[in-house]
Chain A
Amino acid sequence: MQHGKYRFIVGFLAVPLGLYALFVVWPFIQSIYYSFTDWTGLSPEFKMVGLDNYRRMLDDEIFWKSLQHSLMFAVVLPLVTLGLALFFAFMINVGGRRRRGGPVVSGVRGSSFYKIVYFFPQVLSIAIVALLFAFAYNPDSGAINSLLRGIGLDGLQPLWLGDPDLALWCVMAVLVWSMVGFFVVLFSAGMASIPTDLYEAALLDGAGRATTFFRITLPLLWDTVQSGWVYMGILALGAESFAVVQIMTTGPGGPDYSTTVLVLYVYQKAFRDGQAAYATTIGVALLIVTLAFAAVVMRLGRRERLEY
């Protein structure tokens, strides 16, 4: 198979690799370079300023707020989402009442229906979901407060996205809503590959459902949970949190910077404030946070790896 091999390889790789290098790799490299300059993005002229941008960033209160919120998105948000998804997936696949003559482990009745419905939000654009919930959260005419009034809770009318203490949680709740279904389906696939005789043995030993979950399902599913966490964390640090915060919050990022995240701050500095070099500096911080996050999560779980 040597005939014309290299010509073929070059011919097949040239276009995809060229496109990728031009639109993805090259901008990344440029970004890191620009973070050491005073480039505004508005004019082509700039000069090197060394670590000035980084020094400025460390003194920037909004940067620290954004970083804090971004870390919440990467840690708290996946914990809630994956926790809920694990619970639902376990109920759907293993938690069913054992029917006479049926398999040892089975899901609750209607499990395939739940899987289909839970997955709905995953196929919708996060931008559309964010718009929808921005309406639902409206304090006067929104669906949520109107529902609260309807059931007699007239005194309980939070401002939701208008309340600096609540806004971030409101935004995160939308991402939980939209992503739980994906992980329910993902974990269901993982649970289906756990051998049934393990459950059988546990049941014979008198293990209840909680024990079965913590001693069998979770350890054997750990690899999937871990990669799911990394996957969700990367999304939540990047595109997903950008869309929800940019679309739903006032400012965007408000009120009073209570919802701003790193990815939004990069966007605002570059395309609103004309401080492209400083934006890339924050972007580099975001890159470091993302890589560190992935490394920490992958490392956390290595001890618990199990073979079956």
Chain B
Amino acid sequence: MTTTEPTAPVPAEPGPPVAKGDAPAPRPAPAPARERTGGVLNVFSHGMLVLWAFMVVMPLLWAVMTSFKNDRSIFSSPWALPDRLHFENWARAWTDANMSGYFLNTVLVVGFSLVGTLVLGSMAAYVLARFDFPGNRLIYYLFIGGMSFPIMLALVPLFYVVNNMGLLNTIHGLILVYIAYSLPFTVFFLTAFFRTLPNSIAEAAFVDGASHSRTFFQIMLPMAKPGLISVGIFNFLGQWNQYMLPTVLNTDPDKRVLTQGLVQLAVSQGYKGDWSGLFAGLVMAMLPVLAAYIIFQRQVVQGLTAGALK
């Protein structure tokens, strides 16, 4: 960085302006040639960037547009703008297609799962990160191993375990399973996080007579807030968007969560033919998450990418 001064030709001789393509100063011979091929490349690659942005946004806009159309025009001309805004699609999806119920179930399941995951995950991670005891490493690797194992393998017996406990097709059963399957990453992430926190404050609290658990809840947990936010966002999105676990463990139509409900709706609309209502439901499910992402953009990106880098 130090060689690039804002004023271009600092040395008298035509020294290193190779790095500054746009500089109007006389360039040495090789520079213009590279500039030209660079220009072609630039148009191509910039075009690719624009194209991909278009390809990402288009399907989403198309879904929003379609949710305001009537059934006939959805099929006859998928790209035409709606003749008018059919808000009744949204009303129908919310009440008749029971999107409201699916929303409520999802909020309940994700709300309790998220709190449970963060509380239990941080407790386990704290102990594993800061206390030496026999079996510490074993338990740590037991948790970590869960990240790379195919969940479907466990789901076959899990269905019967959950069934035998009377938790099949219940909201609280689903919550417990969500927490259990969120623990590996949460423990992995928070263990690393607790290790980075300084020891001195906890020790001071301990010397002042605070118990281990009080030190944890009143000192360490507030200090771990940035880590909790990151892993919380990661888990929120993972649990809100979860499809495989509820598909296997939660087959009662009244207890369905959003993703399941929509897929089921798509199947049943094949008979009823209310496609516009289905699109309204799809958009309804997409919008809150997209809105939350745009508002908390930086935190979401940090939360989702933090784990993969470690």
Q: Whose C-beta in chain A lies nearest to the C-beta of B80?
A: A146
- Report the separation of the CA atoms of residues A185 and B269 in the bound assembly, to the nearest whole angstrom: 37
Specify which of A24, A141, A204, A290 lies most central, judged by the most chain B CB atoms within 10 Å of its CB: A24
B87 interface residue, CB < 8 Å from A?
no
- Report the separation of the CA atoms of residues A83 and B143 in the bound assembly, to the nearest whole angstrom: 32
Which residue in B45, B79, B150, B156 is a CB contact (below 8 Å) of A143? B79
A280:B180 contact, CB within 8 angstroms: no
A82 interface residue, CB < 8 Å from B?
no
- Report the separation of the CA atoms of residues A246 and B155 in the bound assembly, to the nearest whole angstrom: 16
- Total residues of chain A contacting the partner, CB 8 A: 111
- Residues 68-110 of A, flagged 1 when their CB comes within 8 A of B and 0 if not, give 0000000000000000100110011001011111011000100
Mark A residues whose CB is within 8 Å of B. Answer: 1, 4-6, 8-9, 11-13, 15-17, 19-20, 22-28, 30-31, 34, 41, 84, 87-88, 91-92, 95, 97-101, 103-104, 108, 113-128, 131-136, 140-143, 146-147, 150, 177, 180-182, 185-186, 189-190, 196-197, 200, 203-204, 206, 208-209, 224, 227-228, 231, 234, 237-239, 242-243, 246-247, 263, 266-267, 270-271, 276, 279-280, 283-284, 286-287, 290-291, 294
B244, chain A: closest CB distance, angstroms: 5
B127:A13 contact, CB within 8 angstroms: yes
- Chain B residues, Cβ within 8 Å of A121: 56
B23:A100 contact, CB within 8 angstroms: yes
- Chain A residues, Cβ within 8 Å of B289: 123-125
Which residue in A27, A92, A189, A239 is a CB contact (below 8 Å) of B157? A27
A283:B156 contact, CB within 8 angstroms: yes
- Report the separation of the CA atoms of residues A124 and B147 in the bound assembly, to the nearest whole angstrom: 21
- Residues 182-199 of B, flagged 1 when their CB comes within 8 A of A and 0 if not, give 011001000000000000
- Report the separation of the CA atoms of residues A104 and B2 in the bound assembly, to the nearest whole angstrom: 10
CB within 8 Å for A91 and B45 given contacts A142-B78, A283-B150 = yes
- Report the separation of the CA atoms of residues A280 and B157 in the bound assembly, to the nearest whole angstrom: 8
B271 interface residue, CB < 8 Å from A?
no
- Chain B residues, Cβ within 8 Å of A283: 150, 152-153, 156
Task: Say whether chain B's binding surface is mostly helix, strand, loop, or mixed.
Answer: helix
A228:B308 contact, CB within 8 angstroms: yes
- Report the separation of the CA atoms of residues A121 and B161 in the bound assembly, to the nearest whole angstrom: 34
B212:A8 contact, CB within 8 angstroms: yes
A24:B146 contact, CB within 8 angstroms: yes
Going nearest first, the 6 A-B pairs with the smallest beta carbon separation are A125-B241, A283-B153, A23-B180, A27-B154, A127-B259, A8-B212
Specify which of B1, B3, B241 lies most central, judged by the most chain A CB atoms within 10 Å of its CB: B241
A171, chain B: closest CB distance, angstroms: 15
- Report the separation of the CA atoms of residues A34 and B79 in the bound assembly, to the nearest whole angstrom: 51
A19:B263 contact, CB within 8 angstroms: no
B77 interface residue, CB < 8 Å from A?
yes
A285, chain B: closest CB distance, angstroms: 9
B45:A95 contact, CB within 8 angstroms: yes
- Chain A residues, Cβ within 8 Å of B151: 238-239
Mark B residues whose CB is within 8 Å of A. Answer: 1, 3-4, 6, 8, 16, 18-23, 30, 34, 37-38, 41-42, 45-46, 48-49, 52-53, 55-57, 59-60, 62-63, 74-79, 120-121, 123-124, 126-128, 131, 133, 139, 142-143, 146-162, 176-177, 179-181, 183-184, 187, 203, 206, 211-213, 216, 237, 240-244, 247-248, 258-260, 262-263, 266, 279, 282, 285-286, 289-290, 292-294, 297, 300-301, 304-305, 308-309
B22:A134 contact, CB within 8 angstroms: no
CB within 8 Å for A91 and B183 given contacts A17-B124, A136-B59, A200-B19 = no
- Report the separation of the CA atoms of residues A283 and B248 in the bound assembly, to the nearest whole angstrom: 15
Beyond the given A19-B120, A27-B156, please list 11 additional residue pairs across the A-B interface where CB-CB is below 8 A.
A5-B131, A27-B161, A31-B157, A88-B49, A127-B243, A127-B262, A136-B62, A146-B79, A203-B18, A246-B247, A280-B157
B248:A97 contact, CB within 8 angstroms: no
A12:B123 contact, CB within 8 angstroms: yes
B127:A23 contact, CB within 8 angstroms: no
A159, chain B: closest CB distance, angstroms: 17
Which residue in B126, B156, B216, B260 is a CB contact (below 8 Å) of A34? B156
B35, chain A: closest CB distance, angstroms: 9
- Chain A residues, Cβ within 8 Å of B162: 23
- Chain A residues, Cβ within 8 Å of B146: 20, 24-25
- Report the separation of the CA atoms of residues A180 and B52 in the bound assembly, to the nearest whole angstrom: 10
- Chain B residues, Cβ within 8 Å of A271: 159, 248
A123:B300 contact, CB within 8 angstroms: yes
B16, chain A: closest CB distance, angstroms: 6
15 A–B pairs (Cβ distance < 8 Å), ordered by A: A12-B216, A13-B124, A15-B120, A20-B146, A24-B146, A30-B157, A108-B42, A115-B301, A124-B241, A125-B243, A141-B74, A186-B308, A189-B309, A284-B153, A286-B153
B1:A128 contact, CB within 8 angstroms: no
CB within 8 Å for A19 and B18 given contacts A136-B59, A189-B309 = no
B282, chain A: closest CB distance, angstroms: 6
- Chain B residues, Cβ within 8 Å of A41: 156, 159-160
B53:A117 contact, CB within 8 angstroms: yes
- Chain A residues, Cβ within 8 Å of B143: 20
A146:B156 contact, CB within 8 angstroms: no
B126:A97 contact, CB within 8 angstroms: no
- Chain B residues, Cβ within 8 Å of A15: 120, 123
CB within 8 Å for A132 and B59 given contacts A100-B8, A123-B300, A247-B263 = yes
Q: Whose C-beta in chain A lies nearest to the C-beta of B79?
A: A146
- Chain B residues, Cβ within 8 Å of A200: 1, 3, 19
